[in-house]
Amino acid sequence: MHIIRPAIWDYAWGSGTEIQEIVGRDDPRIAEAWFGAHPLAPSPGLDGRPLDQVVADDPRGTLGEGTARRFGAMLPYLLKLIAADGALSLQVHPRLDAARAGFAAEEAAGIPRDGAVRNYRDPNHKPELVYALTRFEAMCGFRTPRRAAEVLSGLGTALSDELSATLRDEPSATGVRDVFTRLVSADLAPSPHEVAQVVEACRLRLESGSPSPRADRTVVLLAAQFPGDPGVVTSLLLNPVTLRPGEALFIPAGGVHSYLHGLAVEVMASSDNVLRAGLTNKHVDVAEMLRNVDYVAAPPIRIAPEAFHQATRVYYAPVDDFELSVTDVPGDGLVRRLPGLGPRVVLCLDGSVVLEAGGQMVTLPRGQAVFVADADGPATVGGTGTVVQAAVP
């Protein structure tokens, strides 16, 4: 086993308290804490070796023969804590073929992998699963064209009337594509004044008893953070999502989304590829984003857990790269076996637990994580607390 520390990111939308309280740091702002082996920010190890080096030194011992054969000499997932005090960018993650092609093209162009204008920092896709630790607000995927038209109707602005008419005339993925493109493309996007008109209409509708109060509140909220940004209006096209603690949401590659507020655990394919169209101060590449969007309307994909045993819930995402389990240890003196084999990252979210694997025993207080290699075999946990585990299915 290999005790690891998180790699910390302080993006502008991050929290001043949430992750700090878990990992025991006093940073003024933390947006994400990474527990993984992504080459951009591998987790430092207690012995001085970053996790990507640990994997590279012994791929078959750390990953196992099956995982190494499927994914090569890389840990296929990345585990994170994410804490949003403000909205994240309006974004999409690429599919695997697009990520490989985009990465190769940017490598050939000589764009630094950590450069501000880089789209593809690695050749991997980035489907992800979000497990809420607090109430977690998000937008994910397109509403049906008919419902989006209903939300837009009655606002009485030229822009909202135009968008609603387009969706009513073409109530299909084509209509959604046309409206989304109209809003975010540089040569078609509405002016800040047109955006402000929609925002004011939503505010007035909200005050008078809106038929779509949540959509209107989101517009007003986003406008306060990103005044004049067309992404504010785009929120009216997207499904609202609220996760209660313990609920999980899956974001497939190609799914347009934005997280608005809350603390969560994320597990995803090991990638940092994000294509943005708005609601951000980071690099925006609308044309590349549009090439990767899935325009088919669909409800958010909520993942229901399956019981491994009485103490453990497993969230199986519809991908080969990762799964997430949550184990509660009640302090009754018994030990529980954690699910799975292969390479695992175990993070203590609460309390203090004792993890045993491969003849070793480590104590994990809140915020501490350990990498369990395939060669370590089965793992058990005792003590009192809650742990999350990322693993390969």
Distance CA 126, CA 251 (A): 9
Distance CA 303, CA 167 (A): 30
- Estimate the crossing angle of helix 158-169 against helix 173-184, to 10 degrees: 160
pLDDT on residue 101: 97
The catalytic site residues sit at 276
Residues 336 and 327: beta-carbon distance below 8 Å:
yes
DSSP 131-175: EESS-EEEEEEEPPHHHHHHHHTTS--HHHHHHHHHHHHS-SHHH
pLDDT on residue 304: 97
Distance CA 246, CA 374 (A): 28
Residues in Cβ contact with 212 at an 8 Å cutoff, skipping those fewer than 6 apart: 150, 151, 205
Tokens matching residue 155: 């606002």
Give the pTM: 0.96
pLDDT on residue 97: 96
Classify the C-alpha dihedral 380-386-387-388 as positive or negative: positive
Residues 32 and 82: beta-carbon distance below 8 Å:
yes
Residue 380: Cβ-neighbour burial (10 angstroms; 0-12, 13-18, 19+) = middle
Provide the β-strand partners of residue 325: 314, 389
Residues in Cβ contact with 268 at an 8 Å cutoff, skipping those fewer than 6 apart: 77, 78, 80, 126, 127, 128, 129, 321, 322
Distance CA 181, CA 245 (A): 35
Distance CA 360, CA 92 (A): 41
Distance CA 390, CA 186 (A): 39
Helix/strand/coil (H/E/C) assignment for every residue in 100-121 = HHHHHHHHHCCCCCCCCCCCCC
Long-range interactions of 356-362: CB distance < 8 A, separation 24+: 356/380, 356/381, 356/382, 357/1, 358/1, 360/1, 362/1, 362/3
Task: Report which residue type is found at 207.
Answer: E
Residue ranges of the alpha helices (H) in the chain? 18-23, 51-57, 59-63, 65-71, 96-108, 145-152, 158-169, 173-184, 192-207, 213-225, 231-234, 286-290
Distance CA 178, CA 167 (A): 9
Helix, coil or strand: residue 58: coil
pLDDT, one tens digit for every residue, the chain (393 residues): 999 999 999 999 999 999 999 999 999 999 999 999 999 999 999 888 999 999 999 999 999 999 999 999 999 999 999 999 999 999 999 999 999 999 999 999 999 998 989 999 999 999 999 999 999 999 999 999 999 999 999 899 999 999 999 999 999 999 999 999 999 999 999 999 999 999 999 999 999 999 999 999 999 999 999 999 999 999 999 999 999 999 999 999 999 999 999 999 999 999 999 999 999 999 999 999 999 999 999 999 999 999 988 899 999 999 999 999 999 999 898 899 999 999 999 999 999 999 999 999 999 999 999 999 999 999 999 999 999 999 999
pLDDT on residue 357: 97
What are the φ/ψ torsions at residue 208 (nearest 5 degrees)?
Answer: -100, 10
Residues 261 and 72: beta-carbon distance below 8 Å:
no
Task: Report which residue type is found at 307.
Answer: A
Distance CA 383, CA 130 (A): 26
Residue 329: Cβ-neighbour burial (10 angstroms; 0-12, 13-18, 19+) = buried
Distance CA 37, CA 175 (A): 41
